[in-house]
Amino acid sequence: MSFAPGMRVRVRDLDVRGHMRTPGYVRGKVGRIAHVHGAYRNPETLAYGGDGLPERPLYLVGFAQRELWPGYDGGDTLYLDLYEHWLEPE
């Protein structure tokens, strides 16, 4: 596992076609690792009949909603499960 709870990460802005599990609205955005779930088969390759291997670390990442939505003035946090290959250190 490359990341630990509390670390800041940026979601990579990858140009991927087809099935992906990372919403476009968080690409390029910075969040914070809230929890490490463990390693799981990659659903992006499972969707096309692959075996999903090697397993990839999966993280719960929190994003301040004011950083995601222009004009949002609340203090809420949005949490998403994101695979490690979508994340880079901030």
Residue 14 has pLDDT above 90, yes or no: no
Give the predicted TM-score (pTM) of the model.
0.92
Residue range 35-62, pLDDT digits in tens: 999 999 998 888 899 999 999 999 999 9
Q: What is the pLDDT of residues 56-66, one digit of tens each?
A: 999 999 999 99
Report the C-alpha gap between 26 and 16 in whole angstroms.
Answer: 14
Domain 8-89 fold: SH3 type barrels. (2.30.30)
Edge to edge, the sheet with strand 56-64 lists: 77-83, 56-64, 30-40, 8-11, 87-89
Cα-based distances in Å from 46 to 18, 20, 53, 64 = 12, 11, 9, 31
Top-confidence residue, 70 or 7: 7
Q: What is the pLDDT of residue 44?
A: 87
Q: Are 15 and 31 in contact (CB under 8 A)?
A: no
